[in-house]
Amino acid sequence: MINDINNTGSIIQVNAEDRDLGISPIPNDESEYVYAKSFLQKGSTVTGENLYDHLTEVLNKILSERPENVVDFFEEYSRKVKEKRFRPLTDHLEDIFVAPGRYKLANRLMPLLKPLAPDEPSTLDPEDLERADMSKNNMLELLFYFEHSGLGLPRTEMFCLTMSLRQLIRVAPIANIRFWGKIFGMQKNYLVVETQLKEEEYVKRNENYNVQEDNKIEDLALDQLENINKQEEEIAGEGEPKKIWDTLPPIPKIQYEEPPEPPSEPSGVGVNKKVYYVCNEIGEPWVQLPDVTPKQIRVARQIYKTFTGDLDQPIISYPHFPGTERNYLRAQIARISASTHISPLGFYTFGGEGMGEEEEMDEEMEAGNKTEVKENLRYDPVPIKDLTDKSMMFWVHHNLHILNQGRTTWWNPNPLPEGIDEELGEEEEKPTLLGPEPETGPPLLTPCSEDVTLDAIPAWSVRCSSGIAEEYAVAVVRSNFWPGAYCFATQGKMFHNIYFGNGLKFLAPNFSPTPLPPVEQDYPTGPEIMEIVDPTGAEEEAWRIAHLPKEKPTKLAAGEEEEPEEEEEEDEDEDEDED
């Protein structure tokens, strides 16, 4: 106690001495430190934070993380620490569990990852139960080659796709299935699967073929329209015969007649040979796309629209596209398949079994338009050197060319006796009489070297997947007209056509929309509807004087008052006529 008192006494004494001498105090580490610290700890009047704690935290973070060149990002660190502090500590949403992003995906994929239920014993014919061959649809194997070609989808997606296809063939009557590709849309993408249904299914689908012709529907609509028009005319006729209506010409009629619409090809034939299933993402149910009509293909060639990812999205375009995005997607798939599906020479033949190549060629010449190709069981793989030859001699088309009409086979628009389309014998003679020349496309299995080049752009570019190890390489062919269409062929007996793109064709000059047709004339040109120069004041005056009533010169004043009114009325009538 005594010591303490003394000490305090001495400090007071020293301080007193300093004050007396008027000299600044000797720097005292301790007091400086206390002073500085208390300054740093002074809380902000706005937020109540203080620099001391902040610096401690920042330094703490930096020391624990030890980033490189930290001085350059000091402000950034400081800001981050500050930001963290302002996050409320009492998070009221804490109790709510937010599902991780992958949760939805996991939920969708789980059903695919379970083993398939064993087949139930069925009384049906075992042939009916036969399912599509999945041995060629191991997507992981396919992915191996895709990767060689510089293409691919994530491994999960490919694996689950295999599983998904396996389920699809159990529920749909599919005889043959193949992964067609992926179309990237604005919001969502489409995974597309190409299938060939079983024969019975095609028969079933075509039972209603003749009844459901599009033409009939259009005719119906036209009939209804005409009826409405007639009714309107009648109503107009029954109405009170007004004076001005006498001068009105009849309502104009549409002179334009739609050219007859070619009927769509039945399911299982031509462009509708294959049936396509799509889905936005793996795990979602597969949706079958409707068959395509020739008109849809023709319009699809004239418009340039991206896909949105919604099958029911209306296509707003000129010319009007008949259908929604579902039909547009189907039309584009048909176009892409027709022009980009190619195979190595000799993989497919025209089905003549046990024939040499020359004989086949002869047969091709004879038949002209063969529409069926079969896998060549004795296919001898084309060497990679030939496959990667730039002339594309060793690649052939195995899908039918789509004619301008929108069909793969030509349909004669004006057969002589109406309604008899199917008598082929007659049809052959008619074109010579009637004039329209049947459109013809290149026959099946035409080499790609004969494809047209557009504006000096060759149709195909071919690459070898490897420059080092040629013995394992695959030949990769890329379409220059349909960016995203690829085909690869291994040195074994495998090839695959694939499409990864936005579903639009490459146009060398930019797209130019179809111009609107010229305006149709409502009425034949005549004095009633011609535009004429208004009479000048002087002319009117002259006319008035020329038409002055002469027989009653005494009542001149009254006549003058009446006449201008009549004139005006007449003028008005004329005006209305012109309108």
Partner 1 sequence: MNLDEILNTLHISEQSGHVISTEEGIILHNALLILQNENHFRKIFFWGRIFGTDNDYYLAYGYRSDALHDRIFYYSTNCLNWGLLPSPTEYAKKLTPLCTVKFQGDPALVLDVLLEKDEISFGAPLQEPQVKKLKEEDRLSATIFFINQEVLTLPRGALFKRADGVIVENLSFEGLTTLESREIKSFLHFRVPTQKWNTNLLTRDDYNYAIDFLDPLDTDIPEGCWLQNLTSSEDIVVLKSLYWPGMFFYHFLGTPRYGFLYFGNGIKCLDVPFFLNGLYPIYEDFFAGK
Asked if 136 is part of the footprint of partner 1 (rule: CB under 8 A), the reply reads: no
Residues forming a β-bridge with 501: 183
- The whole-angstrom separation of Cα 421 and Cα 191 is 38
Given candidates 66, 87, 102, 378, which one binds partner 1 under the rule CB under 8 A? 102
The smaller minimum CB distance to partner 1, of residues 189 and 343, is found at 189
**What 3 state SS string does 105-138 have?**
HHHHHHHHHCCCCCCCCCCCCHHHHCCCCCCCCC
Report the chain's C-alpha Rg in angstroms.
42
Asked if 148 is part of the footprint of partner 1 (rule: CB under 8 A), the reply reads: yes
Cα 495 to the center of its chain, rounded Å: 26
Asked if 513 is part of the footprint of partner 1 (rule: CB under 8 A), the reply reads: yes
- The whole-angstrom separation of Cα 315 and Cα 295 is 14
> How many chain residues are in contact with partner 1, going by CB under 8 A?
71
The smaller minimum CB distance to partner 1, of residues 62 and 269, is found at 62
The smaller minimum CB distance to partner 1, of residues 404 and 461, is found at 461
Among the listed residues 183, 393, 214, 192, the one whose alpha carbon sits nearest the alpha carbon of residue 307: 183
- The answer to whether 287 and 319 are in contact (CB under 8 A) is no
CB of 495 to partner 1, least distance (A): 18
Asked if 153 is part of the footprint of partner 1 (rule: CB under 8 A), the reply reads: yes
- The answer to whether 263 and 91 are in contact (CB under 8 A) is no
- Mask for 477-496, x = binds partner 1 (CB under 8 A): -x-x--xx------------
Stretch of residues binding partner 1 (CB under 8 A), selected from 150-158, 165-173, 200-208, 515-523: 150-158
Residue count (the chain) = 579
Residue 235 burial (C-beta neighbours within 10 Å; 0-12, 13-18, 19+): exposed
Given candidates 22, 101, 517, 553, which one binds partner 1 under the rule CB under 8 A? 101
- The whole-angstrom separation of Cα 160 and Cα 182 is 15
Given candidates 196, 206, 308, 449, which one binds partner 1 under the rule CB under 8 A? 308
Given candidates 508, 542, 548, 558, which one binds partner 1 under the rule CB under 8 A? 508
CB of 301 to partner 1, least distance (A): 14
The smaller minimum CB distance to partner 1, of residues 153 and 289, is found at 153
- The answer to whether 237 and 245 are in contact (CB under 8 A) is no
> Taking CB under 8 A as the criterion, which residues in 401-460 touch partner 1?
455-458
CB of 185 to partner 1, least distance (A): 9
- The whole-angstrom separation of Cα 343 and Cα 398 is 7
The CA distances from residue 243 to 225, 422, 562, 569, in Å, are 29, 57, 20, 12
Asked if 281 is part of the footprint of partner 1 (rule: CB under 8 A), the reply reads: yes
Pairing of strands 174-184, 495-501: parallel
Among the listed residues 118, 150, 123, 154, the one whose alpha carbon sits nearest the alpha carbon of residue 139: 154
> Taking CB under 8 A as the criterion, which residues in 222-261 touch partner 1?
none
- Mask for 52-71, x = binds partner 1 (CB under 8 A): ---------------xxxx-
Q: What six digits make up the tokens of 248?
A: 């009105």
> Taking CB under 8 A as the criterion, which residues in 529-558 touch partner 1?
none
- SS3 of residue 67 by DSSP: coil
Amino acid at 482: W
> Taking CB under 8 A as the criterion, which residues in 170-189 touch partner 1?
182, 184, 186-187, 189
The smaller minimum CB distance to partner 1, of residues 61 and 370, is found at 61
The CA distances from residue 223 to 219, 228, 229, 419, 440, in Å, are 6, 9, 10, 19, 34
> Taking CB under 8 A as the criterion, which residues in 355-394 touch partner 1?
390
Amino acid at 175: A
Stretch of residues binding partner 1 (CB under 8 A), selected from 99-107, 234-242, 332-340, 367-375: 99-107
Asked if 306 is part of the footprint of partner 1 (rule: CB under 8 A), the reply reads: yes
Given candidates 23, 89, 93, 468, which one binds partner 1 under the rule CB under 8 A? 468
CB of 481 to partner 1, least distance (A): 11
Asked if 298 is part of the footprint of partner 1 (rule: CB under 8 A), the reply reads: no
> Taking CB under 8 A as the criterion, which residues in 316-335 touch partner 1?
316, 325
CB of 315 to partner 1, least distance (A): 7
